Amino acid sequence: MAAGETHRIVARSGRPRTTALSRLRNGRAIGPASRAAQRSRWGLDREIEGAVWSDPHILVLDPGLAFGTGDHPSTRLCLQWLDRTIGGGETVLDYGCGSGILAIAALKLGARRAVGVDIDPDAVAAARANARRNGVEGQFLDGLAPLAFTADVVVANILANPLKLLAPLLASRIRRDGRLALSGILPDQASEIEKCYAPWIEFAPCTESEGWACLSGVRL
């Protein structure tokens, strides 16, 4: 993995499968015949399936029509933040879950419960299927329905404008002293977003990657 990256993503679509597999094997080549013989019910080689179950930093994703292959810098910033934030036993809300990547990552890192929300029904369906692929039990809900879930950790990788509008809702879904991360924003949008959340959140310095920013903080 590149420096600073925390997760390996095995993409079942959207990225050539052989690339993902060879990355997982650290460059060890496996011939097509042997690969076919090892194929499991998940469509993964047995060696990979074993790694998927046992390694919290390997995720298998088929985003389908949803966003969330793990390739986008804003997603990677959120994965890095989750890796630093999830210690075990937390409840997590992944708002704008797309493929479910962040909720699934949180569960694999030890979160007790994760709820993903998205306004796109294709995303909710993809996230449910991806949770099954990774052997975790996330709950994925329609973003237009009322949300009665307060979490220790809230992550939202959407875009600046929706994040501004969602400030009162997201703040109300974090328990006191809980953690929030916001991404999908450009570095020059960060201070405006901080202002919208300032009544509820004390922010740490922003992290950035490849022209994207991630704001994180603690619920006051």
Least distance to ligand SAM, CB of residue 178, Å: 18
Question: For residues 49 and 152, which CB has a smaller minimum distance to ligand SAM in the complex?
Answer: 152
Question: For residues 48 and 127, which CB has a smaller minimum distance to ligand SAM in the complex?
Answer: 127
Residue at token pair 């009322």: 146
Least distance to ligand SAM, CB of residue 55, Å: 20
Contact 216, 185 (CB under 8 A): no
CA atoms of 69 and 12, how far apart (whole Å): 9
Question: For residues 45 and 163, which CB has a smaller minimum distance to ligand SAM in the complex?
Answer: 163
Least distance to ligand SAM, CB of residue 188, Å: 18
Number of Cβ atoms within 10 Å of the Cβ of 161: 12
Residues in Cβ contact with 190 at an 8 Å cutoff, skipping those fewer than 6 apart: 206, 213, 215
CA atoms of 93 and 149, how far apart (whole Å): 8
Least distance to ligand SAM, CB of residue 127, Å: 9
Token digits of residue 44: 């993964």
Binding site for ligand SAM (CB under 6 A): 66-68, 72, 75, 78, 95-98, 101-102, 117-120, 123, 143, 157-158, 162, 184
Question: For residues 24 and 97, which CB has a smaller minimum distance to ligand SAM in the complex?
Answer: 97
CA atoms of 179 and 123, how far apart (whole Å): 24
